[in-house]
Structure 1
Amino acid sequence: MSSNHTQIITDIRKQRGSDLVIMAHHYQHERVILHADLKGDSLELARHVPSLKAEYIVFCGVSFMAETAAMLAGEDQKVIIPAPSAGCTMSGMAPAHLLDCVMRRLTEDGASVIPLAYVNTSAAVKGIVGRYGGSVCTSANAKTMLAWALKRGETVLFLPDRNLGNNTADQLGVPANRRMQLDIRGNGSHIDVKSATAARLLLWPGLCSIHERFREGQIDEIRQRDPDALIVVHPECRPGVVRKADAAGSTSFIIKYVANAPAEATIYVGTEINLVERLAKQYRGDKRIRPLVPSSCANMALTTERLLAETLENLENSEPVRVPDDTVHYARIALERMLEACA
């Protein structure tokens, strides 16, 4: 049956030509990735969108990524996501109404608080961040963007991933005693504003359910069993995991790390299983690529080859991703600040 879906997709891509571009995140299944014109992490895919001329951009990923693409696309372009229900647990931990309440509380006495939102957030959150003078970041450019934010305010609020925030702060040398995890209960009513605005870095208490599954003990076990092995993890992992690994970085960093590793090396990778399995297949016979532990994203898995084929068959009738104009204005400002800072 999959061969039939493959043929449908191949035929439609040929018919549509340059009017169709399929984008896919690295965490998509191999049966989807093989049809992508462009694949990459969040930053790579975002950078491509403004230069695309295609009428239809089909985004194989999760909803916040498709929203970002829609905001960066032209007025005559349509961004279609095959699985509109593909959300993100981390993004859901930072709803826009709660961020708005928290920012109002933090700045009510005139404090200079710059919000920096990870791209794993909704367009509405990005809009609030843009309105308060902030920007967004990806795992690939978090260090650059946190340094950017720290230069612009007395206090930076990093959201929603506390692990990425702490790991990036470690890279920049922000002292642990100048960091504070926010208590966001009660729409921010529990926040001690005086203490919060005295901190250099405020951390939203969110996390990635995929990368939270990796533990320090798993690395200790590998070190005992296979002491010559290399271990690379994603910076959404706990700080203790990042410290014990040989290297940590974005999905693009992980791909390059594996490529540059010595022949015959054994490399344990701590990130989403689709990427790990793809790397294992690519380097089979040359290097041994293994998961730290298998960890899959159920939301990324919602996009299948069958669903992609059905989406392409019904492009004209597919509802494009829409972001309200008032949200787009400030969210686009936040995104453009990132693209400019990382040019």
Structure 2
Amino acid sequence: MSESHSKIITNIKAELGSRLTIMGHHYQNDHVIQHCDLRGDSLELARKVPGLKSEYIVFCGVSFMAETAAMLASDQQKVILPAPEAGCVMSDMAPWALLDAVMRKLTADGRRVTPLAYVNTEAAIKSVVANYGGSVCTSANAETMLKWAREQGDGVLFLPDANLGMNTANRLGIPESKWARLDVSGMAKNLNPEDLADKEMLLWPGLCVIHKRFKAEQIDEIRHRDPDALVVVHPECHPDVVAKADADGSTSFIIKYVEEAPPGAAIYIGTEINLVERLAKQYRNEKLVRPLYPSRCLNMAKTTEEVLAATLQDLDGIDAVTVPGDVAHKATVAIERMLDICS
């Protein structure tokens, strides 16, 4: 990236000082992440927002993350997403109106189904979840939140990532005979609650396109080539991939796993390539860090150093990330419920 872009960012940060906080998700590229005051996964960054005093919060990530930040920030703070078009394919797989239609069907006979939404969803989804007494989760706390959701009724609707739902169910020992992947096509016209009466884990048919690219065969090939290699993957991967890996966990877990691996270890990572490449650089003289398969998030890539520089040059002219009041209130209930449970 241009040196001038980096200089612009550095100068504006120095000028604004504590009035500005730049937050960045681990999947941002190095040219952007180097300028971030705070970096982390979804849970880490959400936890930090309420404690910020900055007038401007610039969130380098995707839209649902900036929405969460906007809901947790004060009225005096302005949350800005440098690339407003940076969405999330997984989030788009669960439109709020469809979720509401599904929940109305599932609870029509009085059954108490608790929706648990992955944080990778828009605010409107979180609002619907709150309406039905549910909450949200991240990959870091999915196990804790699923335990909680199971205690609230006689069924859990996990959305939108079926892989994370299945992997978490496996961790809690929920047998596959108690799972069901829902048919939500055509506004759930074919969904029959009677067929699901004995199912405890109801799975929305969504996935992360980044982690879909990782296959069990890739791990088999690594095992054949280097039997001593370690493999760690994100739980958005298919359960077959997770089963063959040495470990699985959130981005923060993966970072710690690499840190604690013995010197000289060869570690293959199944998650977004920016994080893998950053870890490879960090440990290049100590350990061999490689991607299980190079998989890049194009939405995360929409925030470039040039885009960040242009954003900082026009902080007062750019529209803040906003969420309609009624949606924000209910969605915040779902988010704060998670934060309270996981505090």
TM-score tier (shorter): over 0.9
The answer to which of 105-114 and 258-267 deviates more is 105-114
Would the aligned equivalents of 1:113 and 1:197 in 2 still touch at CA under 8 Å? no
In structure 1, what is the equivalent of residue 312 of structure 2? 312
In structure 2, what is the equivalent of residue 133 of structure 1? 133
Map residues 1-343 of structure 1 onto 2, 5 A cutoff.
2-343=2-343
Q: Give the C-alpha shift of residue 285 in structure 1.
A: 1.2
Amino acid at match of 1:152: Q
2:202 is paired with a residue whose SS is strand
Unaligned runs of 5+ in 2: none
How many residue pairs get aligned? The number is 343
Q: Give the C-alpha shift of residue 111 in structure 1.
A: 1.1
Unaligned runs of 5+ in 1: none
Amino acid at match of 1:224: H
Would the aligned equivalents of 1:28 and 1:300 in 2 still touch at CA under 8 Å? yes
Amino acid at match of 2:284: R
1:235 is paired with a residue whose SS is coil
Deviation per residue, 1:51-96 (Å, 9 max, x gap): 1000100000000000000000001111000000001110010011
2:240 is paired with a residue whose SS is helix
2:133 is paired with a residue whose SS is coil
Would the aligned equivalents of 1:91 and 1:120 in 2 still touch at CA under 8 Å? yes
Amino acid at match of 2:31: R
1:317 is paired with a residue whose SS is coil
Q: Give the C-alpha shift of residue 198 in structure 1.
A: 2.7
Deviation per residue, 1:220-241 (Å, 9 max, x gap): 0000001110000000000000
Amino acid at match of 2:14: K
Aligned counterparts of 1:198 and 1:49: Cα–Cα separation in 2: 40
TM-score (norm 2): 0.99
Aligned counterparts of 1:181 and 1:187: Cα–Cα separation in 2: 15
Aligned counterparts of 2:222 and 2:175: Cα–Cα separation in 1: 30
Aligned counterparts of 1:158 and 1:191: Cα–Cα separation in 2: 16
Q: Give the C-alpha shift of residue 33 in structure 1.
A: 0.2
Would the aligned equivalents of 1:106 and 1:197 in 2 still touch at CA under 8 Å? no
Aligned counterparts of 2:27 and 2:214: Cα–Cα separation in 1: 17
Aligned counterparts of 2:112 and 2:16: Cα–Cα separation in 1: 50
Aligned counterparts of 2:139 and 2:132: Cα–Cα separation in 1: 22
Deviation per residue, 1:255-313 (Å, 9 max, x gap): 00000000000000000000000000000110000000100000000000000000000
TM-score (norm 1): 0.99
The answer to which of 106-115 and 312-321 deviates more is 106-115
- Aligned CA-pair RMSD: 0.6
2:262 is paired with a residue whose SS is coil
Q: Give the C-alpha shift of residue 110 in structure 1.
A: 1.3
2:316 is paired with a residue whose SS is helix
Aligned counterparts of 2:188 and 2:75: Cα–Cα separation in 1: 37
Amino acid at match of 1:139: S
Amino acid at match of 2:126: K
1:15 is paired with a residue whose SS is helix
Q: Give the C-alpha shift of residue 196 in structure 1.
A: 2.1
Amino acid at match of 1:276: V
2:9 is paired with a residue whose SS is helix
Aligned counterparts of 1:190 and 1:309: Cα–Cα separation in 2: 49
Aligned counterparts of 1:153 and 1:182: Cα–Cα separation in 2: 19
The share of aligned pairs that are identical, in percent, is: 64
Aligned counterparts of 2:228 and 2:316: Cα–Cα separation in 1: 54
Aligned counterparts of 1:306 and 1:211: Cα–Cα separation in 2: 27
Deviation per residue, 1:24-68 (Å, 9 max, x gap): 000000000000000000000000000100010000000000000
Amino acid at match of 2:95: P
Runs ≥4 in structure 1, deviation > 6 angstroms?
none
Would the aligned equivalents of 1:231 and 1:268 in 2 still touch at CA under 8 Å? yes
Aligned counterparts of 2:240 and 2:322: Cα–Cα separation in 1: 39
Q: Give the C-alpha shift of residue 197 in structure 1.
A: 3.8
Would the aligned equivalents of 1:99 and 1:125 in 2 still touch at CA under 8 Å? yes
